[in-house]
């Protein structure tokens, strides 16, 4: 498979320009200092790496990767590592910016970063993935560390990949440094409750949004675009915690729809057997595009960026959109959804459960004592509720949609830290 070069666009919409536009809009509302505004429009630093990896056929293949450290005014950089054939530096920059806002809106003492490698992990063996993971850490390890930059899993990376990376970094340091990576297996210092944390945080937000809107969420319908970690757990927890009925789910190969509801265990078993939710016998086919426009109470965009745009936002009927993906909604779509009365829970609030429990993992790593899963859930619920309330109040105070409200909360905190440190 040919690799996309870093300067080729992933789509017609550049995600980093989207992130900058969102920042610009919030900065105007806030009347943010011009120097602080310009400083926040760009990554503090970024590293581009070239990775030679010996493949199973004996040939050496060259991969390209990135690590962006967007802003560390509030603490060490934090952000996932993605393996994707269409990865671009601008996607990584945008995600690093969103991670900065995410840790800030959650009031976690961390900054934001992101990493990525241009590769097709689905076509690679476990041995090739391990060699690629270790090669990446050898190149970027100099800028990583528990007090500098702490990666985590993201698109197509797993706890096993994190374990290889943590081991490689530890070998480089000459001692165990498992705290350099979060999202690790429990046996290597992972945290209980990390597996479903992204979805669980989003579910807590949906419950709070329904309360604000006066909606009795029990028995209401949901559709989920994307059935990876976040999307599949959203299915499970929407039913278990909220009593909702999930009528449609999809992945990259297509979607399934059943107005009577889909059983999580059956859909998960089908995907495990076939590699996709598509073709599930107890439902009819639905496209990813049509799923977004279903007449449901809650829509969970849980796949990749820029799926709700100015072209289709007018047809979105959901009352609540819970963004478990990063950047699924464009600025044009935000305006349309807001005018139509759709309550959007923005990505860097809605999907912040993952980084919050990653922070819990860092805390537990640092003092060598690990919490029970119930304790993790209670602490996560409290953090999500506090952050949701701050965003909701800011959006109402300024008369703006929730994404702008979230930006205002996050930017105020980062700008204050930069000013106190004398950066502007």
Q: 336 pLDDT exceeds 90? A: yes
Q: What is the pTM of this model?
A: 0.90
* Helices and strands (DSSP H and E) totals, the chain: 14, 12
Q: 304 pLDDT exceeds 90? A: no
Class of residue 149 by CB neighbours under 10 A (exposed 0-12, middle 13-18, buried 19+): buried
Beta carbons of 278 and 256 less than 8 angstroms apart: yes
Average pLDDT for residues 119-129, to the nearest whole number? 97
Mean pLDDT across the chain: 94
Q: Do domains 43-177 and 197-350 have the same CATH topology?
A: yes
Pick from 199, 148, 194, 191: nearest CA to 169: 148
Q: How far apart are the first and last CA of the chain?
A: 46
Quick one: what percent of the chain has pLDDT higher than 90? 92
CATH architecture of 43-177: 3-Layer(aba) Sandwich (3.40)
Pick from 12, 36, 9: nearest CA to 24: 36
Give the distance, in angstroms, between the CA of residue 391 and the centroid of all CA atoms in the same chain: 18
Chain segment 237-258, per-residue pLDDT in tens: 999 999 999 999 999 899 999 9
Domain residue extents for the chain:
43-177, 197-350
Rg (CA), the chain: 20
Parallel, antiparallel, or unpaired for β 77-84 and 245-251?
A: unpaired
* CATH homologous superfamily for the domain 197-350: NAD(P)-binding Rossmann-like Domain (3.40.50.720)
Q: What angle do CA 229, 230, 231 make, to 5 degrees?
A: 100
Pick from 82, 105, 76: nearest CA to 94: 82
Q: Would you name the residues annotated as active-site residues? A: 114
pLDDT at residue 326 in the model: 84
CA distance 181 to 158: 12
Chain segment 175-233, per-residue pLDDT in tens: 999 999 999 999 999 999 999 999 999 999 999 999 999 999 999 999 999 999 899 99
pLDDT at residue 12 in the model: 60
CA distance 102 to 392: 15
Chain segment 49-61, per-residue pLDDT in tens: 999 999 999 999 9
Average pLDDT for residues 292-297, to the nearest whole number? 97
With bands split at pLDDT 50, 70 and 90, how would you rate the model's confidence at 9?
very low
Average pLDDT for residues 77-95, to the nearest whole number? 96
DSSP-assigned letters across all residues of 302-340: -SSS--B-TTTGGG---SEEE--SSS-B-HHHHHHHHHT
Beta carbons of 93 and 169 less than 8 angstroms apart: no
């Amino acid at each position: 498979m040919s690799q996309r070069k870093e300067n080729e666009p992933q789509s017609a919409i550049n995600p980093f320009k989207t992130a900058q536009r969102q920042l610009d809009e919030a900065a105007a509302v806030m009347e943010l200092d011009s120097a602080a505004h310009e400083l926040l429009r760009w990554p503090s630093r970024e590293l581009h790496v070239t990775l030679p990896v010996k493949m199973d056929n004996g040939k050496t293949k060259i991969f390209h990767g990135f690590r962006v450290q967007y802003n560390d005014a509030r603490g060490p950089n934090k952000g996932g590592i993605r393996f994707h054939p269409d990865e671009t530096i601008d996607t990584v920059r945008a995600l690093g910016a969103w991670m900065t806002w995410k840790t800030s809106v959650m009031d976690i003492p961390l900054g934001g970063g992101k990493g990525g490698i241009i590769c097709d992990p689905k076509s690679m063996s476990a041995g090739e993935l391990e060699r690629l993971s270790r090669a990446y850490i050898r190149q970027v390890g100099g800028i990583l560390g528990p007090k500098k930059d702490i990666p985590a899993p993201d698109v197509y990376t797993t706890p096993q990949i994190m374990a290889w990376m943590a081991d490689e970094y530890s070998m480089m340091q000459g001692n165990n440094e498992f705290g350099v990576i979060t999202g690790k297996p429990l046996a290597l210092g992972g945290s209980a409750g990390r597996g479903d944390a992204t979805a669980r945080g989003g579910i807590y937000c949906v419950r709070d949004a329904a309360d604000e809107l006066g909606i009795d969420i029990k028995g209401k319908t949901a559709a989920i675009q994307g059935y990876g970690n976040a999307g599949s757990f959203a299915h499970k927890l929407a039913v278990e915690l909220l009593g909702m009925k999930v009528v449609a789910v999809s992945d990259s190969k297509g979607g399934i729809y059943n107005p009577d509801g889909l059983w999580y265990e059956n859909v998960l078993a089908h995907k495990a057997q076939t590699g996709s939710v598509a073709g599930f016998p107890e439902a009819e086919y639905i496209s990813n595009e049509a799923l977004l426009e279903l007449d449901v109470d809650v829509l969970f965009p849980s796949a990749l960026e820029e799926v709700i745009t100015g072209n289709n936002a007018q047809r979105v009927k959901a009352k609540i959109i819970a963004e478990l993906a990063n950047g699924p909604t464009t600025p044009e779509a935000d305006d349309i959804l807001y005018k139509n009365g759709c309550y959007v829970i923005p990505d860097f609030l809605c999907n912040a459960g993952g980084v919050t429990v990653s922070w819990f993992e860092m805390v537990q790593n640092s003092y060598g004592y690990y919490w029970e899963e119930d304790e993790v859930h209670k602490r996560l619920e409290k953090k999500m509720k506090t952050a949701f309330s701050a965003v909701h109040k800011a959006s109402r105070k300024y008369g703006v949609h929730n994404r702008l409200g979230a930006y205002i909360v996050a930017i105020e905190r980062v700008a204050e830290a930069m000013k106190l440190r004398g950066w502007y």
